[in-house]
Amino acid sequence: MTSLDLTNKQILVTGGAGFLGRQVIDQLVKAGADADKISVTRSRDCDLRVMENCQRAADKQDIIIHLAAHVGGIGLNLLKPAELFYDNLMMGAQLIHAAYQAGVAKFVCVGTICAYPNLTPVPFKEDNLWNGYPEVTNAPYGIAKKALLVQLQSYRQQYGFNGIYLLPVNLYGPEDNFDPKSSHVIPALIRKVHEAQERGDKTLPVWGDGSPTREFLYSTDAARGIVMATQDYNDSEPVNLGTNSEVPIKDLIELICELMEFKGEIVWETDKPNGQPRRCLDTERAKTAFGFTAQTEFKEGLKNTIEWYRKHAA
């Protein structure tokens, strides 16, 4: 099957002004899309929880890439589970329906690794997605996003609507969200180390015991994978986007401290939650289906992220 030609296509990228969205737009243009035909939605002027806004956004679009999400780390998931469930379900479900009604030719839904069951065999295979309940600290968010996969599959079955569903692992990179109230683990730790250095602290408190593993995908790689799938994947089955390698949190914080030259002692707050025990994706389907493999070496990606944060921290 030939690749979807992006030339002259009207493309909507929800969340296109965000950390991943800007990278996706850059990759779309590199793949042949016309920059002046790409539009973005911003939450402040287009609340996708309102159906009329979804209908307006979907009107006359050829392709929609749905990245917009209300998302955060363990802290936000524990504090606002109801908001995370409602906001993500309503945004996605209504936008998919509006896209179907508007005759959009291709819908790309970016889901979440949090959709996987808590005790999924490692590496996570897409076929294991329904074999249990997600890790409790982020289950409301994970289930809301997983419901969108069911919606896309049922719309394909009943209406022939071409919607695909991608499961990127934890993302990181320059321009990430470094707000400690809502950031994920890498930006949260980079900021924490930076501020400890600014204060001259001799210790660094970190949640959990350091034993969980995570997999991290550089944002540029993720964006490239999303655009490759947009052009070359047209199936109902979900697809992982990752690196197929896991990093213990203990090793992660030690590497960040090394790269940032922080000499203090790491103090593990073992009364705080660890989150899911292990995360590592099987990435064979993405490689086979549309030729995607990650390219950025982890240490290099971390260096770039730290450099960007230090430059913009003020």
State the catalytic residues: 141
CA distances from 271 to 25, 29, 251, 284 (A): 41, 47, 20, 37
Amino acid at 67: L
Q: How many CB atoms lie within 10 A of CB 79?
A: 12
Q: Measured between alpha carbons, how far is 286 from 268 in angstroms, rounded to an integer?
A: 36
Q: How many CB atoms lie within 10 A of CB 221?
A: 23
CA distances from 47 to 21, 43, 52, 150, 292 (A): 17, 5, 9, 23, 32
Q: What is the length of the chain?
A: 314
**DSSP for residue 134:** B
Start-to-end CA span in the chain (Å): 49
**Is 18 within 8 Å of 67 (Cβ atoms)?**
yes
| Residue 230 structure tokens | 């947009």
Q: Measured between alpha carbons, how far is 307 from 238 in angstroms, rounded to an integer?
A: 34
CA distances from 43 to 47, 86, 98 (A): 5, 15, 17
